[in-house]
Structure 1
Amino acid sequence: MVEALVTGERTTTATLDRGRGVSLWHQIASAIERDIIAGLWIPGARLPTEAEFTARFAVNRHTVRRAMESLESRGMIRIEQGRGSFVAEDVLEYPLGTRTRFSENIRRQKKEPQGRILGIETIAAEGAVATALGLRRGRPVLRVERLAMANGTPIVIGAHHFPLPRFEAMPAALAQQASITVALAACGLPDYHRVRTRVTARMPTAEEATLLHQARIRPLIVAEALNADPEGRPVDFTLSRYASGRVQIVVEGE
């Protein structure tokens, strides 16, 4: 039996054939993919809900969910917890070099950078933070958690660690503008350079997935970075968690 599939505001030429041995979820995924490629939904657009697709294709929700998971695994869509499914945007190229600056990287790709401070607190330097900043364990450091976005889409969560008392003016500077580079300049450091970056990957926590608007089944790109002032003194140890479906890390040569 062959049935016409309506996958958007118009009817696609694809058909749902319940007797040709191809799973229904695969046929549905293929039909949605064709409509995305044809431009029925632009990058970033919200897709119909599972319930709407269920009614449209006359199948159960499990079948639709399997189709959507397949599209997400291939990078066609992104599923955001509690918000729905969206057509995947173009992947940003994010260069890592001696002068890595989020705003500059984003503007080079003709997108508008934004930032939001999630929290600021003074903590005791321990483990990797103390080692990277060259501090004795227990010394105070300022921890700044920041969400960085491009055209309003979450890209990366950064946990920055600054030695105290050198950067005690950082909270006041960030209250004026949520830019780490601008805040460092306000603290008397107009320029700094990247000493090293270590890149790994892991699955997100529930909080990270929510902040980055991504599914728990998609891994994060994790980067540990150390920045130093022109004299070589450590000024910022950062743990960055990138939404892997939206970012491609590019390592630049010296």
Structure 2
Amino acid sequence: MTEAAMTSLDRRRPEPLWHQAERAIRARIEAGEWPAGSQIPAEDRLCELLGVSRITVRHALRNLESLGLLRREHGRGTFVRSATVVAGARGLTSFSDEMAALGLTVGSRMLEQQIVPASARVAAALEIEEGEPVALVRRLRLGNGSPIGVQTAHLRLDRVPGLLDEDLSDGSLYGQIERRYGIKPSEATEIYRVGSVGPEDAELLEIAVGSPAFIVERLAIDPRGPFEFTLSIMRGDRYEIRSTLRI
């Protein structure tokens, strides 16, 4: 496939441009022109090749990442993912619902609640421009009074105006934004990595620096598109993933 072939998106087709862009990128991967482990062109270059906006390219890349074909590394770029096993189909629930289902008393402590400019990673996830204001909600999550994780949520400010005027320390954030704005996630993409806990998070989680943890990125989407991107640091000794596998 030549670069010219990637520009053959047809605006007259009923098929959305982001879906056409997704198919064009996927075709290169499946043809072996962008092999596993290789870096694909940057967003600006893909916009030129496909003749579409950055928002359209980001939508296509996000879908391919959720399918496990791509991985995005902050500060480095987007790479074709090697074959991997992604475990665990789970219900679309909040942390509060998840802990309650395990019989734990859910609690939170507000660490930070403010409007901040979107970083490059957050902007790419939420399909906005870098530097646009987002609502940041950072909380220490508790189970039966003991720390389980530190969660930092970023929400599109244009979807939740005035959210930070409320007390968000307790309860489900999803529950609050559904009641106030009618926003209910229809799907979410979660990426789990294993990492070690840094000094600040270790103190909050009451564990030693360098202790193992799950580093979890979650992107929540409703019919209008992505509205929340959350980074969680979950204690490895208090949080686990279980999968039921059937033939």
**TM-score, with structure 1 as normaliser:** 0.57
Structure of larger gyration radius: 1
Aligned residues: 158
Higher mean alpha-carbon deviation, 155-164 vs 182-191, is at: 182-191
Residues 125 and 251 from structure 1, CA distance in 2 versus in 1: closer, same or farther, beyond 3 angstroms?
Answer: farther
Judged with a 3 Å threshold, the aligned counterparts in structure 2 of structure 1 residues 190 and 166 are, in CA distance, closer, same or farther, namely closer
Q: Deviations over 1:142-176 (max 9, x none)?
A: 11101111110111111100111321222233358
Q: Which residue of 2 aligns with 1:239?
A: 231
Q: Secondary structure at the match of 2:104?
A: coil
Q: How does 1:1-254 map to 2 (within 5 A)?
A: 97-175=90-168, 177-229=170-222, 231-250=223-242
Q: How far did 1:251 drift? A: 5.4
Kept after mapping to 2: 8 A contact 1:173/1:183:
no
**Pair 167,160 (structure 1): closer, same or farther in 2 beyond 3 Å:** same
Distance 1:98 1:232 in 2: 20
**1:126 deviation in Å?**
2.1
Q: What is the CA–CA distance in structure 2 between the aligned matches of 1:166 and 1:190, rounded to whole Å?
A: 8
C-alpha displacement of 1:184 = 1.1
User: Percent identity between the aligned chains?
Assistant: 25
Secondary structure of the 1:214 match is: coil
* Structure with the larger strand share: 1
**2:139 is matched by which residue type in structure 1?**
R
Distance in structure 2 (CA, Å) of the matches to 1:172 and 1:244: 33
Runs of 4+ in 1 over 6 A off after TM superposition: none
Q: 1:175 to 1:241 in 2, by over 3 A?
A: closer
Distance 1:190 1:223, change over 3 A: same
- Residue 26 of structure 1 corresponds to none
Could you say what the CA RMSD is over the residues aligned between the two structures, in angstroms? 2.2
